[in-house]
Amino acid sequence: MTTEEPRNLTQFKRYKTDEEGRKTFSSIEQIKTEASIERFYDRYEQLAALDPSLPKLLRTEHARYLETSLERLSCGYECLDSSRPWLVYWIMNAASVLGIKFNDSLLNRTVDFLIKCRGQDGGFGGGPGQDPHLAPTYAAVNALCIIGTDRALNAINRRTLKKFLWAVRESNGAFRMHVGGELDVRGAYCAISSAKLAAFSVEDEAKLFEGTASWIAECQTYEGGFGGAPDLEAHGGYSFCAAAALAILGGEDKCDLNALLRWAVNRQMAYEGGFQGRTNKLVDGCYSFWQGALIPVIQSLIARKENYPEIMNTALFNRIALQEYVFICCQKPTGGLIDKPGKPTDLYHTCYTLSGAAVAQHCETSKPPLILGHPDNELLPTHPVHNIPPKCVIDAYKYFLKNELIEAEHTNGEWNGVAEDTPLAATAGAEVDVVDVEMRERSVDSERSTASRSTVQSDATDSMSGATTSGTSQRSSEERSESID
């Protein structure tokens, strides 16, 4: 364990907001939020004096919440009917970080459901029969990679996915969220992440994402963070999308990384310990990941740009403070996690608060994990760029590399004398394929290295339109599915 210690929360009260005699709407809301968090911290200090193992990760309760949600959702999630692959992904990734495994029958039904969401012309829609959209495409690809079976990975049709990505691409390298839809940095990230996991060839990536890095760079603001599009306000979700896209694509030389890092580290709240998404906004549990993962991603970009690997040796945010906010303020005793005290549980915040805590524990990969409380509070690492388990990233990439030649030659009707109707699995051991793939798999080492350096580390059937508790957050479909926020 490293020497970083829990904060003296009583002493940290001196960092609470001082209105300086000028009340504003923002200051009033900030003080109310701090007061609600103060009650949680005061109670925790009293209980921790009696039980030093606190706080406790409520793993069993969260596991029950997630499995129940995967089987059946309450009417509170009806507004997310166009975001059902997101619900699957949030459940799957939260479960993977907690080390929870669902039974094979439930996972197969989940794959069946996601196949129904797949568009005939590529990509995935928000539900069966819905138009393909980059946000649920990203969510579906991630969820299928987490499941990781041959059947799950086969559900990602690389040929039609490529066709869909070309359909939403603009001539300048930007991406619309759907055909004729809005254009912002989320689209670029969702497209790039999906293409990388599906192991698009170097040539295909170069053509598909020509100009994309330059367009992303245009979204950087005077604050240092990135907006959703040029001339918009800097925002944690968009900044993550921009930096993560550049981590995959390259092009970090087009941005001011020091300004981005300065902006990102200043989004951690001094008293609360969690992150805000924008300047003068309130703390929000979801930014535990969007900002918490952004910081080590920026560090990896600086390491690559400036040949300065030493920058990865030390975390540049308070990892204990972030875990204090997540474990003390964001857990519900009945399972699931929240935005901030007083808010209801939902799957979105359950996924991203846990992902952020995992980043905080594991971001210094050369050292043991830094865990607040009992060692049983340890979470499994998540890949900081894709936000799925690092091994799932590597396994998916290798799977598609090994099958790329087989698919291409099978489509042409003959491969090494093998007839067109020969099952693909029967050709998998052919020597020429193995040799070619072994040469190309060297690129996996680079992907693995990136993951290691920066790892900070319903019914899945048609009844998915229902969700878990009647008190579930009623945020709009646009806020949840079409905004990585």
Q: Is 81 a catalytic residue?
A: no
Task: Please give the sequence-ordered ranges of beta strands (E in DSSP) within 215-352, or none if there are none.
Answer: none
Q: Does the active-site annotation cover 376? A: no
CA-CA distances (angstroms) from residue 52 to 4, 207, 351? 16, 56, 27
Does the annotation mark 281 as catalytic?
yes
Catalytic residue among 64, 281, 374, 475: 281
| Rounded alpha-carbon distances, angstroms, from residue 246 to 54, 70, 302, 361 | 39, 33, 11, 24
The verdict on whether 287 is a catalytic residue reads: yes
Buried b (16+ CB within 10 A) or exposed e, 103-112: eeeebebbbe
Which of 235, 386, 410, 480 is catalytic? The answer is 235
- Dist CA 270 CA 266 (whole Å): 9
Q: Coil, strand or helix: which one is 77?
A: helix
Closest CA to 454 of 346, 298, 327: 298
Whether the Cβ atoms of residue 259 and residue 252 lie closer than 8 Å to each other: no
Q: Is 380 left (phi over 0), alpha (psi -120 to 50) or beta?
A: beta
CB burial of residue 345 (10 Å; 0-12, 13-18, 19+): buried
- Which of 117, 138, 284, 325 does the annotation list as catalytic? 284
Structure tokens at 197: 């996991």
Helix, strand, or coil (residue 218): coil
Please pick, among 89, 189, 287, 399, the residue that the annotation labels catalytic.
287
Query: Among 176, 178, 267, 278, which one carries the catalytic annotation?
Result: 278
Active-site annotation holder among 346, 433, 459, 485 = 346
The active-site residue out of 184, 339, 433, 459 is 339
Q: Which residue spans within 363-483 are E strands per DSSP?
A: none
CB–CB of 350/66 below 8 Å? Answer: yes
Catalytic hit among 340, 349, 362, 410: 349
- Of 412, 484, 451, the C-alpha closest to 185 is 484
DSSP assignment letter at 325 = I
Residue 308 is a catalytic residue: no
Residue with tokens 């479909």: 477
Burial 379-394 (b: 16+ CB within 10 A, else e): bbbbbbbbbbbbebbb
Please answer whether residues 75 and 345 qualify as being in contact, where contact means their C-beta atoms are separated by less than 8 angstroms. Answer: no
- Decide: residue 145, CB within 10 A, 0-12 exposed, 13-18 middle, 19+ buried: buried
**Is 190 annotated as catalytic?**
no
Catalytic residue among 286, 351, 363, 392: 286
- Would you call 235 a catalytic residue per the annotation? yes
Residues with a catalytic annotation lie at 235, 278, 281, 284, 286-287, 339, 346, 349
